[in-house]
Structure 1
Amino acid sequence: FILYTSGSTGKPKGVVHTQAGYMVWASFTFQNVFQVEENDVYWCTADIGWVTGHTYLLYGPLLTGSTTLMFEGVPTYPSPGRFWEVIDKHHVTIFYTAPTAIRSLMAHSVDHVLAYSLSSLRVLGSVGEPINEEAWHWYHQHVGKGRCPIVDTWWQTETGGVMISALAGITPSVPARAGLPLPGVQPVLLAQDGSEIEGNDQEGYLAIKASWPGVIRTTWGDHERARQVYFQPYPGYYFTGDGARRDEQGLYRIIGRVDDVINVSGHRFGTAEIESAINESEYVVESAVVGYPHDVKGQGIYAYVICKDGVPEAELDRQRVEGSIIEAVVAQIGRIAKPDKIQLVSGLPKTRSGKIMRRILRKVAEGETANLGDTTTLLDPLVVEEIVAGKK
């Protein structure tokens, strides 16, 4: 089948998967990551048009004969307790959702969660982007009641299924860590020259050393593009386009897209790293960070931030929020990583699958607002107009 990526960094690509290999990987990863049992009721909140909907809403559960719950709607309608109501009503045991959904629910009173028992749950999952520590702890404490393991899954449309993740209840579930590779998956960290970086407590480009059943076969109508993007940058490896860190225990942490690395005065920062720090501020629900040309530093840091209580109207309140954001970044990373510009916004330009279209944010930060490129997959185009109007 052909599934188009959302084009968060460029023109959408038609990713081609083959029947047998994809089905093997969907079944194997679904059963092992979630440790599915015979009487489980599984709920993946993803849209069916997204690869997560394909692999873990439909094919994985169907291949293993599992009960899968399908839901159409948003987590906050008719109330922010909608997800928890569904879980209790249908006795959901495994719940798989995106950090962006979790953060949107964190903006509301925790009473919406506490009103439900959620006693049927035994496994929680996260997908789509690295989950920041604050969201991880909220998810673990309030939804999982401190007893459910969280599988923070890393994979891509191109991989067909999960590649790096904890195995529920078996391997360590650690905040802000994807964890260990699945059996048979051989991740490596590469230096810019293509050499493998050995040992733990290391950082580099994430690549996969050997093939696996769910690997992308081509990009529809443009095989050369698949070769150039995934296999040519480092011959002999599948290049993920992500940066990663392997910690002291050998657990992998995804630090953001390689093309989202910001170089500030010679210091390289992953956008996910800075966003995670910003999100630690008591005022912040979600953020997105991009680089922009800076006369002195080479690149400056431009932060788009959604506040828990909306965009403050009073200048004094805005200063308080911005001060809190800077304090959080300095405490987590250091003064060198503090944002040069902070724009408080009511929303971020996201695709229907929940991905932030960073190229739009980057163009706005750089002052190139005349041509923002393809915006057909945006969930709410009005957000872009607001961001352009409020540019710092």
Structure 2
Amino acid sequence: MTSASPTIENLLSETRRYPATAEFAAQANVDASWWAKADADPVAFWAEQAKRLDWATPWHTDHSWQPAKRADAASAATANTATTDTGLSDALAIPRAEWFAGGTLNVAVNCVDRHVAAGKGDKVAFHFEGEPGDRRTLTYSDLQNEVNKAANALTALGIVQGDRVVLYLPVIPETIIITLAIARLGAVHSLVFGGFSAEALRFRVEDTGAKLLVTTDGQFRRGAAVPVKTAADEAVAGVASIEHVLVVRRTGEAGADVPWTPGRDVWWHDVVDSASEQHKPEFFDAETPLFIIYTSGTTGKPKGLVHTSGGYLTHASWSHWAIFDAKDDDVHWCTADLAWVTAHTYVHYGPLSNGTTSVIYEGTPNTPHPARHFEIIERYGVTTYYTAPTLIRTFMTWFPNGLPAEHNLSSIRLLGSVGEAINPEAWVWFRDNIGAGTAPIVDTWWQSETGAAVMAPLPGVSTLKPGSALRAIPGLTTRVVDDAGVQVANGSGGYLVIDGTWPGMARTVWGNPERYLDSYWAKFAEQGYFFSGDGAKYDDDGDIWLLGRVDDVINVSGHRLSTIEIESVLVAHPAVGEAAAVGVEDAVTGQAIAVFVIPSDASVLTHPSDSEATTALAARLRAHITREIGAIAKPREIFFVSDLPKTRSGKILRRLLGNLVDRRPLGDVTSLQDDAVPGQIAAVVAASRGDIRS
């Protein structure tokens, strides 16, 4: 991203503040002293947190790091060569991190067996709610038995340490069970969202060289049973590495017509349900790969990020305990699909390592009614509720007059936000309506690459600011820098980087270490910073506010404007439910701003784009943006739409919106939650052509 300005402009100032209450602070797991402890020696701090886990063999070295430093002249000829995003070829070393070298552990034992051994076998591990209304509860003893059976079944299918297993599954207990069984064997899992296409699944199967695919006959989505096995078969057809396809019966009845390849395909109920509940675990080196998770592929070929065992579990476990203030009687609900990294860390591994009770729900939030989530919160007594800003904004449009009174949400004591920056008005609505005006919100910033949360408030310490993740958690350091890697002043914006290394960091890109270097370390190799790809700003206090992906920053006549800030102003208007802002081509200003608005009043969508009502609303929104930000941020075009293109993890794919306006090919759409949305928006754009107002 190049421009006359070295930083992203700071457009908004949010002044509302919510200090931690004395009552919450008094019982919080972590106080302000933890930052000082971690700052004094971050490596020693993480080594102390690693001791919260059970290790079969102690480690001999806390941490080692080979940075992406440029080679000296004498060794440049033999150094790895990488091309930075400046287009210059520089001799850079592939970075290499190790945490807790020499130590051995078993991740599944840490998440299940040790709690049973401690006498907590009768404690609920998971409450499962299926979309059709079926329910299942698994205690830690139940989970241990099921994981052991699955591990024995995997062994019978030839899975050993280091093998890759791809999971193409919905949010059901079997997904948790098989994930832990793979980890128990020292094999490597890669979860794929069950709504992805056969093409997207095939790429991941081929890229990992998977030996086994685990899938279902079908899944429930929006009230209907949707077949899955045909897509799974298409994905693995002709893939030489695949030896078996393990199939969970989810939607069908015995004898139902499911496509089948004898000798390759096996039913879960035939090989897992009949397996022994006894399994002796092995213990593996801390740097043993645990999982490969793929980036969404919204800007190119997906990257398979490799996370290892000891460091990742340390980061996941401690951050869950500290950020979510985990208590023994908590009922934790992270609403992410199990294939998303948020669920890896804050469903699979963080809560289980801490012996927490969790809720998992298979379906969509409005099946069969928009209050389904509130019904679930009340049924299970959910205490911590962690979800995406896009769902919060959707709730605002579904319940413009507040939540239905018939659901009691008084069990909620803490809320969390994840996926992208949360708009301040959505933050306040979330706290007031779901948190009863008292529950702290931990607004977390992190990525698939980081493994676990990097920035977040500590709920018993931090003064909360709606829309800000504030600062890095203890043991990590984040900075906002300009193109030259120089930290920007308070009140200015730039690139968000992580200074130093941390246990949960991805170690490489599967099969392509050069891409790992190029994507994350080459840009600021001289400073040793990890480049997140996100823009951010400091406020006057030095706290950090996310401004979105740097690829999404809009450059209007040399002014670099954040999509997040424009969207936040729009969402604050009572006529707007959700909004997305994108940069589009403009012959005069280089780029102009186009915004896509989901109106609070759905009747707006029944009016033509040139109607008096639509024109008047667009004029009010332009005036609102001009008043709150300035004329530089006034949109050239405003489109009123019924939905926005989002990934299953809740991110808005702004790239697709810009492509629709500029009539460019859409590119990769495999990560979309609903692939019909771009076509619907294209029709709106086409109907509005020639109706560009100043």
With the shorter chain as reference, the TM-score category is: over 0.9
Structure 1 pair 11/303, CA: closer, same or farther in 2 (3 Å)?
Answer: farther
Counterpart of 1:350 (choices 643, 646, 671) is 646
TM-score by length of 1: 0.96
TM-score by length of 2: 0.55
- CA distance in 2 between counterparts of 1:274 and 1:10 reads 26
- The aligned runs of 1:84-123 (5 Å cut-off) are 84-109=374-399, 110-123=401-414
What SS does the aligned partner of 2:584 have?
strand
Structure 2 equivalent of residue 150 of structure 1: 441
- The aligned runs of 1:1-392 (5 Å cut-off) are 1-109=291-399, 110-197=401-488, 199-235=489-525, 236-310=528-602, 311-314=605-608, 315-368=611-664, 371-391=665-685, 392=689
Instruction: Give the CA deviation at 1:352.
Output: 2.1
Instruction: Give the CA deviation at 1:163.
Output: 0.6
Indicate conservation of the 8 Å contact 2:471/2:478, yes or no: no
Indicate conservation of the 8 Å contact 1:8/1:356, yes or no: no
Instruction: Give the CA deviation at 1:3.
Output: 0.6
AA at the equivalent of 2:633 = A
- CA distance in 2 between counterparts of 1:251 and 1:194 reads 18
Indicate conservation of the 8 Å contact 2:469/2:545, yes or no: yes
AA at the equivalent of 1:226 = Y
Structure 1 pair 114/8, CA: closer, same or farther in 2 (3 Å)?
Answer: farther
Instruction: Give the CA deviation at 1:111.
Output: 4.7
Equivalent pairs, count: 389
- CA distance in 2 between counterparts of 1:132 and 1:9 reads 24
Q: Write the deviation string for residues 328-383 of structure 1: whole angstroms up to 9, x where unpaired.
A: 21122111101101111111122222222222212112121xx3212222222211
What SS does the aligned partner of 1:248 have?
coil
Instruction: Give the CA deviation at 1:215.
Output: 0.9
Indicate conservation of the 8 Å contact 2:388/2:649, yes or no: no
Identity of aligned residues (%): 46
- CA distance in 1 between counterparts of 2:454 and 2:310 reads 18
AA at the equivalent of 1:266 = G
AA at the equivalent of 2:335 = T
What SS does the aligned partner of 2:398 have?
coil
Kindly indicate whether structure 1 or structure 2 has the higher relative contact order, using CA contacts under 8 Å at least 6 residues apart.
2
Indicate conservation of the 8 Å contact 1:288/1:304, yes or no: yes
What SS does the aligned partner of 1:240 have?
strand
Name stretches of at least 5 consecutive residues in structure 2 with no aligned partner: 1-290, 690-694
RMSD: 1.4
Indicate conservation of the 8 Å contact 1:2/1:14, yes or no: yes
Instruction: Give the CA deviation at 1:113.
Output: 4.0
Structure 1 pair 114/324, CA: closer, same or farther in 2 (3 Å)?
Answer: farther
What SS does the aligned partner of 2:337 have?
coil
Indicate conservation of the 8 Å contact 1:84/1:113, yes or no: no
AA at the equivalent of 2:679 = E
Indicate conservation of the 8 Å contact 2:402/2:433, yes or no: no
Name stretches of at least 5 consecutive residues in structure 1 with no aligned partner: none
